[in-house]
Structure 1
């Protein structure tokens, strides 16, 4: 999982992830937007479910983050389909709308995000 941190013209931290993990970057860019309290909430939840069968979910405006003791899933809220909304013979492309990664890798990205945002 490769990624890079940038600053936009307003100074806001932006994150770009490699193919297959783009949604992780979208989550940081759309839901976090520099909110370190949100990141602390995610870290606390990860610590809480570690070593258990429990899971935790955070629904945002555009993306939902779900985690358990081993992995993190981020998906676009638009992926929630009811019944057979897709026409027969058609497939929904979700490569840029859903991503999975390990909890430890995700927590490391959070730490690097904090460091970059602080100007380290």
Structure 2
């Protein structure tokens, strides 16, 4: 999972993620937006889940983060899309709306995000 942090014209930190992990970047850009308390909540949940069968989720405005002891899933809330509404032969494109990654990899991105925020 590759990523790059940058600041937009307004000074907001943005992250760009590699293909297949775009939803992770969207989660940071839409839900976190510099909210270090949210990142701490996710890190605490990851610690709580370690070695257990439990699951945890955080529903945001645009994206929901779901996590168990090994995996993180980030899904756009709009994915509750009824495929029957589509015309025949059409597919709903959701590659940028759903991503999976390991918990450890996700925690590395959180640490890098925090370091970027505090360093710039």
Q: Who is 2:53 aligned against?
A: 53
Give the gaps of 5 or more residues in structure 1: none
TM-score (norm 2): 0.93
**Residue correspondence of structure 1 range 1-120 to structure 2 within 5 A:** 1-82=1-82, 84-119=84-119
1:50 deviates by: 1.2
C-alpha distance 85-50 of structure 1, shift in aligned 2 (>3 A): farther
2: distance between equivalents of 1:61 and 1:95?
19
How high is the TM-score relative to the length of structure 1?
0.93
- How far apart are the structure 2 equivalents of 1:59 and 1:113? 20
Count of matched residue positions in the alignment of Structure 1 and Structure 2: 120
SS of the equivalent of 2:28 reads helix
Tell me, in whole angstroms, the C-alpha distance in 1 between the residues paired with 2:103 and 2:96.
Answer: 20
Measure, in 2, the Cα distance between the counterparts of 1:109 and 1:49: 18
CA distance in 2, matches of 1:95, 1:9: 27
Residue segments in structure 2 that go unaligned for 5+ positions in a row: none
What is the CA–CA distance in structure 2 between the aligned matches of 1:74 and 1:67, rounded to whole Å?
Answer: 9
RMSD between aligned residues = 1.4
Q: How many angstroms does 1:89 deviate by?
A: 3.5
- Structure with the larger helix share: 2
